Amino acid sequence: MVKGVALEDRCLQQLEAQAMLTQALASLSKSKMRDALEFAEELELELEMMVRVRRALRRIEVMRDDDAPLDGGLHTMSDTDIEQFRAERDKRHTKAANPKYKFQNYPQLRSRSDYTKGLLLHKKREQEKMLSWQNTVANKSLVDLDKDLVKDAIAIRKSLLGYMGDKQMSFPETLAQNILVKGLDKPKLRDEAYLQIMKQLTENPKPESAAKGWQVMCMCCGTFLPSMEFENYLLNFVLEKCQADGAEACYARYCLHTLEGMMSSRTNEGIVPTLEEIQAYKERPPILATIELVNGALLTEDLPVAPDLNVKKARNITITSVLEICAHFGGLTTPRTDLMGLFVYDLGSIDDETGASQANDGANQPYTPTPLRNEDFMGDQFIRKARQRRDFKVRR
């Protein structure tokens, strides 16, 4: 009899947890999702809905909090709040841009002599290359760490070289995931992980290697924050790269917005991406999406869109879609999201400074708005338009 009552209670609790998770996912409220997950975890449940909520939570972790969104939701803020938010952001950027915050000046770095202590050959060269790209593995960490963490730092270096293709290693997605897991599980390694990436992105002679290094940087920025002491040094590096040309600037801007979202949400941890999510970085870049309503009103500006995030339903049902996030910003209920769609509006050639059309072939004429299918990825549109050298905007 007692066992029967206990079993009944267990079933009722599981149903309650399932309902909480479903409601939290529909609301896209970070606080509700965290509460629902905590309740389910206390019951030691392993539900598919828990996986969905964890993935959704990671997707909107870049927002500020439920009542104070980042630029992605400025339309919900008063003019005064927007001005204050932007003033604080600009002040933070101005401070971090100070040359004293170059990562080479970080006080917790080892001295160059300590970094090469014990080396018999090429000591001078190793000292000179301590903070710039190398395709070899050092036997020291960049930061002065406890001995038990130095081995982990060396492992991070090996995994980074393998993922970037600077050393031939198998299963690159697993290597990237290893870096993220170590940084998430051991906070004292986070600055080391960021520094290793910044080192490998400095004076890197291989564009493909640099692109993969930026991919890991994007993943780290969405998984864990650096220490407060290192924040300005990381921001300095990213802000400087935002002024670069081409793909590097796009990666850097994505990192900047993701970092600021994590900082503003007052959480220093996210969720480690799955191997499938990491694989998506090789298929398309992460982007910042600005989406307008049909009437031209701004819905979301510079929304970080990860490579595995598609328009409606991702290949894996555990992944939140762009439309679901847009619905959250627009305050739409779940049934109405089924009627939503995204369209790409072509704005003409980015090489045309006068706005005049081409003489005969009409190559510079804007195209008819293109509807995006549910399975389309916005990163693919970004690549396509960049190769065509066409400017565009996205409207809902």
Task: Classify domain 91-282 at the CATH topology level.
Answer: 1.25.40
Three-point CA angle 287, 292, 296, nearest 5°: 145
pLDDT of res. 310: 76
**CA separation for the pair 11, 1 (Å, rounded):** 15
Torsion over CA: 143, 144, 146, 152 (sign): positive
pLDDT of res. 385: 73
pLDDT digits (tens, 9 = 90+) for 238-293: 999 999 888 899 999 999 999 988 887 656 678 899 999 999 999 888 888 777 77
pLDDT of res. 80: 73
Tokens encoding 17: 């947890």
- Beta strand 390-395 with 287-292 is parallel
**CA separation for the pair 227, 145 (Å, rounded):** 14
pLDDT of res. 110: 95
pLDDT of res. 71: 41
Closest by CA position to 25, among listed 335, 378, 328: 328
The label of the residue with tokens 């730092």 reads 153
Bridge partners of 304?
A: 288
Pick the CATH number of 285-395 from 3.40.50.970, 3.40.50.300, 3.10.20.90, 3.40.50.1860: 3.10.20.90
Give the single-character DSSP code of 129. T
List where CATH 1.25.40.530 sits in the chain.
91-282
193 contacts 154 by C-beta, under 8 angstroms: no
Closest by CA position to 304, among listed 333, 262, 272: 262
Q: Helix and strand tally (H, E) in the chain? A: 16, 5
Please identify every stretch of the chain with a pLDDT value under 50, giving residue numbers as ranges: 62-73, 75, 313-319, 353-362
Give kind and range of the element (H or E) at residue 253.
helix 247-264
Measured between its terminal Cα atoms, the distance across the chain in Å is 57
